Structure 1
């Protein structure tokens, strides 16, 4: 046996040499495949044997590339095979790096060099899959191609990530200042050429990652290269900027060539509106070519595209406004005034036509596919939140363009006469004036509104009237109410609350605004609905604590406790209970108290201690003390609560009956070093949630979250505790 193992040790180096130098063999030669097969059979046989004690098959002197770190002899054949595969790949990678050096150190040269290296690596992997992987797996049950991929992905990540991040960081923002302008800080650098190479590298890595998904389906999500798209964040943003830059050029040219006549008799818009939509769909084609991964965060670029399209819409609106500016100015013997013209109406209709197509266009970007991928990777709840976030971005983009239309309408109105402007801004005050000048002004307004009504579509004409009657308040109020009815996710309501605060801030004196109280009420509803479910549940408990404070005499009884903080330690003493509601047929109860710290998600690692059960008494004397160790963050929670839940234990303990509960706020607990015996008793009336609690804003918000399991489960248990 000793001779056999000595001979084996001499044979193995040549076997592993074949594995390491496998790339030097020609796969189309029969002897090559036979040699590899024989080597694998030898390794399989040796792996099935039990070596003699103290046999070291792979000494570091012969195998310096082995990663084995143990003190005992190394007889691990398959682990050494994996090391040999990795070492062979490393040798080959060093070879191609040496033979494919960069011609210079420019960013463009660095990008093209990385592309070439990745292509060669993919070629090696394809060769491994086609010729060797099945052989390795069938002979020694070793995933040859997977092992190679694991090695290569780490090396490619190490090579590419710092380079890509550095190049993306140096990318200069494009600024559009006219049709023939392209300013990026250096006229000798073509941003499109560099961006193209960056995009080619992105596609090369993307194909490499997709290859890894097929080879390593169970492990691919753990690879660092899986999140390669994050390296390109700045680069992709530049591509989107270039796409927008080209779009702005084309839009400017389309407006310049527009004759401001109807495309045909059936529509109320002109040629530039149609051209602008065509330009938008060219951006959509670019997004499809980009094929950004449908993973968490991919919607960020969809949101940017939506924002960029909104920017193009605003740019188009500005150009249309510039084109018609000056039209309609007339001078008669009495005064210089502005008359609404067909060109002005067409300009407004053009912008609105573009706005109407914004939402269906953004949905064509693949938003639903992104949401579906989020659902597969995480959960339906997370996917729903992602979808609502994107819908929020779309809604905000549409609102931005709508506001641009309103700006143009305001511009039309502002040109009619100073008195008209005052009527629009101070509508109620001017309407209350009874004078000939106001009467003449209203006649002038009626004449121009007749033109607007005839030439504008109905929606735009109604917008004109909304401007007269304080459009800002009405429009935002409608948006707020509409989205409350739609039960948007917390992120949407929080963002809408900020928008609402901006709107309130725009009023010089909110106290004089008729809608001020309603807006404040809306802000409170938005604040509640903007909380995440766990925080919202705690909000309900805080509301419940305020409600319980008002209870003076409870039919459920009273509980006496002591509590103190000492540094980060919370000590709670449950002393006794009195006049507990009888839960048993004998007119008594078998009571115990459970202590909870709220909010639960902030105290997930803290025990929920329980007292012993005191049988057949409505006046149990518990006298039990619990010491709870808190983290500094838990101790500093401003709205922490202690929930004392009193229950009646049934015979077997499977169906305990609920008696009542009490809440103690952290702010009502002393921070002291005094012993518990010196502290005063705290008497808490036991209570239960009531219909008043169920009608609170917090409960209503939870009721709206029908797809949220946490909210649904909380409401189910909460309703069971109602009095």
Structure 2
């Protein structure tokens, strides 16, 4: 195989790609000159011919990849990028030729001939066979192109890691531009080489792979540094905003809607949450629980029936816990001894409120409670979107810690706001509502990991401690 160098100044593929497509063209021309008279025979030959051309194209792409793998050791950054770019362009050049096969081999004439001799089934057979071959070959060529791009990003990985670490470790006294500058200079110099060496389609593919790699690296860095100063996350927020502008290139690069999808959204949310105070994170935790509760329509952990109504003049919230059904069995006898803890959350919004609990109902999965509880709730408190009632169903154990059976939440906005039926004198006569229980492990939530990392924050540690107690009771069952 010839050297991986462009054949001329304005072409970005090498002579070997031209040789391959020229060979393919000669085969195609020979077939055209044969002017095969039998449609069924022509179909067989074209099927085999297409299969052979597709197979050889994929084989050529694999040879290019092996050549890159052999040559990459000891090469400087610029030379490696240029050679790999030529290999990518060669693959794209051959791939573009294959896309012309339906026209060059006159598939339509074969389709028409087969339709005339065999009907619609004959035409469908031609379509299925030939298009299937072309589709599979295209997937294989794209796969080989991705492998070449992976070689490129792997080669850049040590440098990128060093620049991300520089941003991560830069002291607060260094401004954001200076912290990000080494990374951007490296990307600028690399982009100059890529732009000169790659055809447009390949440049977009390489830029996208590079963008995904940088997002993953920043995500890893943020995950490894939870609980640090807010300035750390602000700096990485500045970094991704700078990178978005770089890869978008004022509309000449990647599309903004593509850049701001997938891992970008995950990273943006991670940075946003890490910049929050502990109280704000706890509020976000309950907002997520409220959102999950609204879409929970069925549960294998059972359900609880309650009534809530609010006396605005007295600022008193009444909670009736009526009954539960289909609870999970947590005792050896196949039953449970359930009781319900009801409380206002988050606790920092209700510092004077205490949790209350029902009586224990022995040996049942369908307990009837019929108990009333009262809470003082001011308008300033219920106006918070995260303000809610939590209902925690526990299984009472005589000799060990109680077991967690499930929980549900109800936002105060559902029954405290002016105009709500529950906030009127008729609230007592309203029908009860059903809450399905969930049983998620708190440690699986990113917010929990963020709070746990804040070892010097008393409120964060106390919140984590309470949730870990619930999780521990789940593990001991």
| Alignment TM-score, normalising by the size of structure 2 | 0.49
**Greater C-alpha Rg:** 1
